[in-house]
Amino acid sequence: MNSVYTVKQVNSYIKNMFTQDFMLNRIYVKGEVSNCKYHSSGHIYFSLKDESGTIACIMFAGARAGLSFRMQDGQQVIVLGNVDVYERDGRYQLYAREIVLDGAGLLYARFEALKKELGEMGMFAPEYKRPIPRYVNTVGIVTAPTGAAVRDIINVSSRRNPYVQLILYPAQVQGEGAAENIIRGIRALEKKQVDVIIVGRGGGSIEDLWAFNEESVARAIFDCAVPVISAVGHETDTTIADFVADLRAPTPSAAAELAVYEYREVRERMLSCVQAMRKAVYMKTTAWRAALERTALRLKFAHPRQKLNEKRQYAADLESRLRALMDTRMTDRKHRLALYVEKMKRLSPLEKLSQGYSYVQGPSGNVRSIEQVGAGDPLTIYVADGTIRTEVRSVAPIAYPGAENRQKEEP
Amino acid sequence: MAEKKKKQTLEEMFGQLETIIGELEADDVSLEKSFDLYNKGMNLLKECGKSIDEVEKKVLVLDEDGSTHEF
């Protein structure tokens, strides 16, 4: 006994050998699944076996993204993982990171290779993508006549726009001759001059979808003069056809949504165009009518009758001003007249007569001087209450103190 | 000519309609021109309607010989 080691030492020594091994760190192992158990923790425990033996395997819950199907006993799978030692049990096992079905694994490799090849050729380049026309009249469909895909496309399309013509090329989309069938469908619809082509099918395994990964199909889609929408499987299924198509739809229903415009929207757009035009014309005519009315008003003001009326009005104004002036003047005069009347009244001869004076009228009128009469001339004397007729007997001058000659009073 | 008109897509017609409406809404357009534009617009809308071809379509199945029959 040279030296004695603990279990722990041996196990960790072995573990160290495993982890340092380049190949065991990343290894693909193929075999048949057995003793497969989905643990409640999310981990999956199983074994891989072939004719010669088995290897214990575990896929931790954290690595479950690497498994896209429900694993069952008896399946042929390829597991990618690393082989390591579980020290507690002193045994090694395969820690799985990705698990694919074996047949599919091969197809997957082919898929990757073709994708790389066509991608390098530029067949996926965006500059080759044709735009999908927004308003289509006819939509070509290449798919199985009996699948859910065609039903979905018809339903969505007729709901969105029942006036779009759908032309179905009933194609065999899986199995022997599917690729040739799909290609014939694309060519036939291209010849029919449809506006857009939907190529697709419902979901399935990678084998089911394989026709859409064929290079010949990819080329037919690439060469098609009509824009092509691919609609293969579910959202997570990606095929070469999706890369090469002008537009990739996640599902057949989505393809119909992308290809067929909503009728109601177009109706509304047309209506809004009508309204916009009506409104514009209405605004215009209203504006022009208003301008017309303004002009008419201006014209009316410019009419000679208007001028005439203005002059007439002016004349009337002048007249009334004149009248007013006259009125004030007249009142003024009337007042003055009344004053004069009053004055005159005081100067009246009758007044004088009543005061004892008399008025003497001779042959030559009012006698104011002795010169006017001679002896024998008749005189009429007016007194307050009547007249007296008499004759002149004689005349003689008289000198009044401080005055010239005055008419001689009657005797 | 009619052929040419038929070739016009709905999209192009909508484009023209937008232009016409823009012109109609401009301030400096004459009354005569307005009516002209309006007529043009209405005709375009009629064409739009025709291009939609509002007849419910049956799904057709394309045969190998290029003929079609109802689905």
Residues B15-60: tens digit of each pLDDT: 999 999 998 888 888 878 888 898 999 999 988 888 888 788 888 9
CA-CA distance, A18 to A20, in Å (whole number)?
A: 5
User: Is B65 at the interface with chain A, CB within 8 A?
Assistant: no
Residues A251 and A281 in one domain: no
Residue position matching structure tokens 């214990």: A56
Q: Which residues contact B51 (CB under 8 A, 6 or more apart)?
A: A135, A137, B6, B8, B9, B10, B13
Q: What is the CATH number of the domain that holds A139?
A: 3.40.50.2300
Q: What is the 3-state secondary structure (H, E, C) of A107-169?
A: HHHHHHHHHHHHHHHCCCCHHHCCCCCCCCCEEEEEECCCCHHHHHHHHHHHHHCCCCEEEEE
Global confidence as pTM: 0.57
Asked if residue A335 belongs to a domain, the reply is no
Asked if residue A248 belongs to a domain, the reply is yes
In chain A, whose CA is at the least distance from the CA of B9?
A: A135
Report, as an integer, the average pLDDT of A243-259: 94
- Say if residue A379's pLDDT is above 60: yes
Asked if residue B60 belongs to a domain, the reply is no
CA-CA distance, A290 to A284, in Å (whole number)?
A: 10
Residues A140 and A244 in one domain: yes
Report, as an integer, the average pLDDT of A239-246: 94
CA-CA distance, A190 to A206, in Å (whole number)?
A: 27
Between A74 and A22, name the one with better pLDDT: A22
- Say if residue A411's pLDDT is above 50: no
CA-CA distance, A172 to A198, in Å (whole number)?
A: 15
Confidence of residue A313 (pLDDT cuts 50, 70, 90): very high
Answer for the pair B40, B21: CB distance below 8 angstroms, yes or no.
Answer: no
Report, as an integer, the average pLDDT of A8-20: 91
Confidence of residue A261 (pLDDT cuts 50, 70, 90): very high
Q: Residue B25 and residue A280: Cβ atoms within 8 Å?
A: yes
Asked if residue A271 belongs to a domain, the reply is yes
User: Is A169 at the interface with chain B, CB within 8 A?
Assistant: yes
Answer for the pair A142, A198: CB distance below 8 angstroms, yes or no.
Answer: yes
Q: Which two tokens stand for residue A41?
A: 């923790």
Residues A46 and A160 in one domain: no
Q: Which residues contact A247 (CB under 8 A, 6 or more apart)?
A: A129, A132, A227, A228, A229, A230, A258
Residues A38-97: tens digit of each pLDDT: 999 999 999 999 888 999 999 999 999 888 888 888 888 899 999 999 988 889 999 999
CA-CA distance, A274 to A290, in Å (whole number)?
A: 24
In chain B, whose CA is at the least distance from the CA of A192?
A: B66
Asked if residue B45 belongs to a domain, the reply is yes
- Say if residue A148's pLDDT is above 80: yes
**Could you count the other beta carbons within 10 Å of the beta carbon of residue A365?**
9
Q: Residue A168 and residue B24: Cβ atoms within 8 Å?
A: no
- Say if residue B4's pLDDT is above 70: no
Residues A322-372: tens digit of each pLDDT: 999 999 989 988 998 888 888 887 777 777 778 888 888 888 888 888 888
Residues A257 and A272 in one domain: no
Q: What is the CATH number of the domain that holds A63?
A: 2.40.50.140
Asked if residue A331 belongs to a domain, the reply is no
**pLDDT at residue number A308:** 86
Asked if residue B2 belongs to a domain, the reply is no
Domain count across chain B: 1
**pLDDT at residue number B1:** 37
- Which residues of chain A are within 8 Å of residue B57 when distances are taken between CB atoms? 162-166
Asked if residue B39 belongs to a domain, the reply is yes
Mean pLDDT for chain A overall: 89
**A232 bridge partner residues:** A201
**pLDDT at residue number A160:** 95
User: A215-223 vs A102-121: helix axis angle to the nearest 10?
Assistant: 30
- Say if residue A175's pLDDT is above 70: yes
The closest CB to that of B34, out of A154, A162, A284, belongs to: A284
Tally of CA atoms within 13 A in the half-sphere of A197 that contains its CB: 33
B45 to chain A, closest Cα gap in Å: 7
Residues A216 and A239 in one domain: yes
**A138 bridge partner residues:** A165
- Say if residue B5's pLDDT is above 80: no
Residues A364 and A381 in one domain: yes
Asked if residue B32 belongs to a domain, the reply is yes
Domain range enclosing A78: 7-102
**pLDDT at residue number A256:** 96
**pLDDT at residue number A37:** 93
B66 to chain A, closest Cα gap in Å: 7
- Say if residue A385's pLDDT is above 80: yes
Answer for the pair A139, A247: CB distance below 8 angstroms, yes or no.
Answer: no
Domain count across chain A: 4
Q: Residue A277 and residue B38: Cβ atoms within 8 Å?
A: yes
Q: Which two tokens stand for residue A181?
A: 């069938």
**pLDDT at residue number A257:** 95
- Which residues of chain B are within 8 Å of residue A164 when distances are taken between CB atoms? 57
User: Is B21 at the interface with chain A, CB within 8 A?
Assistant: yes
Answer for the pair A226, A190: CB distance below 8 angstroms, yes or no.
Answer: yes
Instruction: Report the DSSP pairing between strands A247-248 and A228-232.
Output: parallel
In chain B, whose CA is at the least distance from the CA of A154?
A: B59
**Could you count the other beta carbons within 10 Å of the beta carbon of residue A364?**
11
Residues A180-233: tens digit of each pLDDT: 999 999 999 999 999 999 999 988 877 888 899 999 999 999 999 999 999 998
Residues A246 and A171 in one domain: yes
Asked if residue A323 belongs to a domain, the reply is no
